[in-house]
Amino acid sequence: MELITQPLVIGLTEDAPLVLAAIGFALLYRLTGLINVAYAETITLGAYFGMWLNTSFGLDFYAVVLPAGLLAGAVSVATYLVVFRPAKQRNVGVLEMIIISFGLSIFLRHGLQFFFGYPTRFYDVPPPDTIYVLGVGVTSFRLLAVASVAALSLLLYLFIQRSSYGLKIRALASDEDLAKVSGIRPLAVTVLIWFLAGVAGGLAGAFLGVGSSVAPLLGWREFLLILMVVLVGGTWGLGGVILVGMATSVALAALALQFDQILYAQLVLIVAFVIILKVRGTRLTETAKV
């Protein structure tokens, strides 16, 4: 029994931020068609903003989570307005767009060290309470992370599928010209997408940061996994991303327990995802490859 419950509980609680970050990344990817490598830094900045609010103003972790997410959302919108929107207006190609986002990722990752300092930083929080779930000890921060991930996923899903803004977002994603003719203002809606994605990334970062430490590579370490979850799960929509994200988290925990080494678990997952992508790529018909 422990063989199943342990990875299940550890995976779902420890890697809940991963699912949240994947949702944000998937929003951007599916609705704007952009692979944004700098999303890694949205996560990192969320962790830094939370730590900064927490240590500079002595605020409680629960009080800084949301502001950290909102600040990360603002940065995300700023990157869109300053970099990606001009790039789109100049008709930059898909390949160049990825390299631009890679450049932005590197720029932010190193630039932020001039503001927050070079050494690894920590949240100043009292040791969290341990709560036992199915016999496995989980910290209260992690449970809050799970609860927020669940609530936010549901909210985002309802917002996109049910609200009128969601309809506009989906309309814009499927046909921009048609959406414009229907009276949708592309700028406002696109800014909204970038903001929501940024908030999701920032929250994920704050939860990751309070769980361990805050360092410039925090988001980048998660990025490959997020990218793979979104590319594989995204085929089945936002629900697919959430499911594949959760399955990845549990598999990561199970493999890490098996090998006693988290790096081996990551290696196995990288190989598995690459095989899935390869098999799917080969199955495409000749016209679909065009």
Partner 1 sequence: MLDWLDAFLITGLFHVVMITGLALLLHLQLGLARIANFGIVGFWGIGMYTFGVLYVQVDWSFGDPWQFLVCAAAATLVAGVAGLLVGWLIADLDTDGVLVVTLGFATAVQILATTQDDLTGGARGMGGLGFPYDIGSVKENEFLWLVILAAVVAAILLYVWRVHRSPYGRSLIAVGGNEPLARSLGKSTFRTKLWLFAVTSAAMGLLGAMFGVMVRFLDVGQIGIGITLAAMVGLVLGGTARVWGAVVGVVLTVGLFDIVVQSYLPLPKEWYTQAIPVLREAIFGATLIVVLLFRPLGILGDMQRDKLMRKIHGE
Quickly tell me which residue has 């990722």 as its tokens: 105
Residue numbers 253-272 binding partner 1 by CB under 8 A: 261, 263-264, 266-267, 270-271
Cα separation, 182 vs 171, in Å, equals 9
Backbone torsions φ then ψ of 137, nearest 5 degrees: -70, 130
Q: What is the enclosing helix (H) or strand (E) of 130?
A: strand 130-133
75 binds partner 1 (CB under 8 A): no
131 binds partner 1 (CB under 8 A): no
> Which CB sits closer to partner 1, 94 or 181?
94
Residue numbers 29-68 binding partner 1 by CB under 8 A: 35, 37
Q: What share of the chain is helix, strand, coil (3-state, %, to 5)?
A: 80, 5, 15
- N- to C-terminal Cα distance for the chain? 49
Question: Residue 29, Cβ neighbours under 10 Å: how many?
Answer: 20
Annotate 165-211 with DSSP letters as a single string.
Answer: HHHHHHHHHH-HHHHHHTT--HHHHHHHHHHHHHHHHHHHHHHHHHH
- Please select the residue that binds partner 1; options are 98, 136, 191, 243, rule is CB under 8 A: 98
**Considering the complex, what minimum distance in angstroms separates the CB of residue 154 from partner 1?**
28
- Please select the residue that binds partner 1; options are 111, 135, 137, 239, rule is CB under 8 A: 111
**Considering the complex, what minimum distance in angstroms separates the CB of residue 102 from partner 1?**
7
Q: Which two tokens stand for residue 171?
A: 């309309």
1 binds partner 1 (CB under 8 A): no
> Which CB sits closer to partner 1, 23 or 53?
23
281 binds partner 1 (CB under 8 A): yes
> Which CB sits closer to partner 1, 77 or 146?
77
Quickly tell me which residue has 């199955």 as its tokens: 283
**Considering the complex, what minimum distance in angstroms separates the CB of residue 147 from partner 1?**
31
CB 2 within 8 A of CB 168: no
CA angle 73, 76, 80 (to 5 degrees): 140
113 binds partner 1 (CB under 8 A): yes
CB 235 within 8 A of CB 216: no
227 binds partner 1 (CB under 8 A): yes
Nearest to 185 by CA among 195, 198, 171, 174: 171
**Considering the complex, what minimum distance in angstroms separates the CB of residue 30 from partner 1?**
12
Three-class SS state of 216: coil
**Considering the complex, what minimum distance in angstroms separates the CB of residue 219 from partner 1?**
13
- Please select the residue that binds partner 1; options are 86, 135, 137, 239, rule is CB under 8 A: 86
- Please select the residue that binds partner 1; options are 92, 133, 247, 257, rule is CB under 8 A: 92
Cα separation, 241 vs 230, in Å, equals 6
Binding site for partner 1 (CB under 8 A): 35, 37, 83, 86-87, 90, 92, 94-96, 98-100, 102-111, 113-114, 118, 220, 224, 227-228, 231, 261, 263-264, 266-267, 270-271, 273-274, 277-278, 281-282, 284, 286, 289-290
